[in-house]
Amino acid sequence: MSAAEKVREVPAGSEARRRRRGRVTDENGKRVRVWELALRYALLLAVLALTVGPFLWQLSTSLKGPTEDIFSSPPKFLPGDPTLHNYDRVAQTIPVWDYALNSLKVATANVVTNCVGAALAGYALARLRYRGRKVATLVFILAMLVPVEGIIIAQFTTMRELGLNNTLIGVVLPGCIGAMNVLLMRNAFLNLPYEIEEAAFVDGANTWQRFLRIALPSVKGTLAVVAIFAFMGAWDDFLWPLIVLSDTDKFTLTIGLNYLHGTFANDERLVAAGTIIAVAPLIALFACLQRYFFRGVGEGAVKG
């Protein structure tokens, strides 16, 4: 894993590595046959074209100038004269940077509330002994099973009663401490050896100190996963903001994009530029944090 982990570019450029076939072994330590390896890479590249291709086509469309034919058959995959003109036009058509800022506010708030709230509640469920802990755990399990799409209208009326509809706070609140994240943190805390905390307890550390100084630093990995999912979930959310927001100046990026598409559907270059603005930061973020995602996956394989 670790050796392969460092390779970040498309293997098309790694001929030299492929020639040193002795290094390429399967999980049993046996050499992988050349034709099998070639077949694997062929399949991998085919799937790569299917998964990443559409994004690249969108990027290409967004870079094509107004004089270039985007409908040609056979299609032209590369823009003849790349230009950022369409991105300017998006910003002139909708306040795309304000929307991006709104999305960023919502996503950041969601990360903070989820990390703090889920860590606290997870610790309470995992560690502390008190009556009603089982009931509290059950509450979170039940909440996890509720299909959010079904309660969306009631959530909206709840927001109205609180006077928070059509605000960014209203967008954040329903998911600001996810039941799933609470249970994830609970399991992480349950896996910590209890003796360490017991020693601290005996030394006179109170609950808060034990949580902050001993338990929390040991579950950084799970906390990172919660943070990543909270950010992406908030940044990508569509149905809830669509229902709760009505003023165009409060839109998040996804709702703004939907609006752009609804109003300028026949201007493909414009919509393409808008989608790239929305998706690029997230892909960049994921590229930086991807090792947290794949940690633990492939643990069964021999390291090498």
Partner 1 sequence: MASSSGTASSRTASPGKVPTGGASVGSASPGDGGDGDGRPAGAVARVRRQLPTSPWLFAAPGLLVVGIFILYPFVSTVVNAFTDRRTLIPGEFVGLANFRELLHDEMFWIGLRNSTLYVLGVVPALVLLPLLLALLVQKNIPGIAFFRSAFYTPVVASIVVVGLIWVWLLDERGLVNSLLEAIGVGRIGFLSDQWLLLLSAMTVTVWKGLGYYMIIYLAALANVPRELHEAAAVDGAGAVRRFLTVTVPAVRSTMVLVGALSSVAAFKVFSEVYLMAGPGGGPAGEDTTLVMLVQRTGTGLTGRVGYASAISVVVFVVTVALMLLVLRADRKEDA
Query: Which residues, 203 to 242, sit near partner 1 by CB under 8 A?
Result: 203-209, 211, 213-214, 232, 235-236, 238-239, 242
**Closest by Cα among 288, 289, 233 to 115:** 233
**Closest by Cα among 57, 15, 54 to 38:** 15
Q: How far apart, in whole angstroms, are the C-alpha atoms of residue 52 and residue 49?
A: 6
Residues 250-279 that bind partner 1 (CB under 8 A): 253-254, 257-258, 261, 268, 271-272, 274-275, 278-279
Binding test (CB under 8 A) with partner 1, winner from 139, 169, 216, 224? 139
Q: How far apart, in whole angstroms, are the C-alpha atoms of residue 36 and residue 40?
A: 6
Cβ atoms within 10 A of the Cβ of 114, count?
27
CA dihedral 159, 161, 162, 165 (to 10 degrees): 40
DSSP 1: -
Q: Give the number of residues in contact with partner 1, rule: CB under 8 A.
A: 129
**Closest approach of Cβ 136 to partner 1, in Å?**
5
Q: Which is nearer to partner 1, 84 or 301 (CB)?
A: 301
Residue with structure tokens 């690249």? 56
Q: Which is nearer to partner 1, 39 or 84 (CB)?
A: 39
**Closest approach of Cβ 224 to partner 1, in Å?**
16
Token pair of 198 as six digits:
């017991």
**Closest by Cα among 264, 265, 222, 257 to 236:** 257
Write each residue from 113 to 132 as x if it is in contact with partner 1 (CB under 8 A), else as -, in one continuous string.
---xxx-xx-xxx--xxx-x
Q: Which is nearer to partner 1, 84 or 142 (CB)?
A: 142
Write each residue from 152 to 191 as x if it is in contact with partner 1 (CB under 8 A), else as -, in one continuous string.
xxxxxxx--------------xxxxx-x--x---------
Stretch that binds partner 1, among 7-15, 78-86, 91-99, 219-227 (CB under 8 A): 7-15
Q: Which is nearer to partner 1, 104 or 136 (CB)?
A: 136
Q: Which is nearer to partner 1, 85 or 259 (CB)?
A: 259
**Closest approach of Cβ 171 to partner 1, in Å?**
12
Its sign, for the CA torsion 213, 216, 221, 223, is negative
Cβ atoms within 10 A of the Cβ of 248, count?
13
Write each residue from 33 to 72 as x if it is in contact with partner 1 (CB under 8 A), else as -, in one continuous string.
----x--xx-xx--xx-xxx-xx-xx--x---------xx
Instruction: Verify binding: residue 84, partner 1, rule CB under 8 A.
Output: no
**Closest by Cα among 255, 285, 282 to 95:** 255
Token pair of 200 as six digits:
């601290």
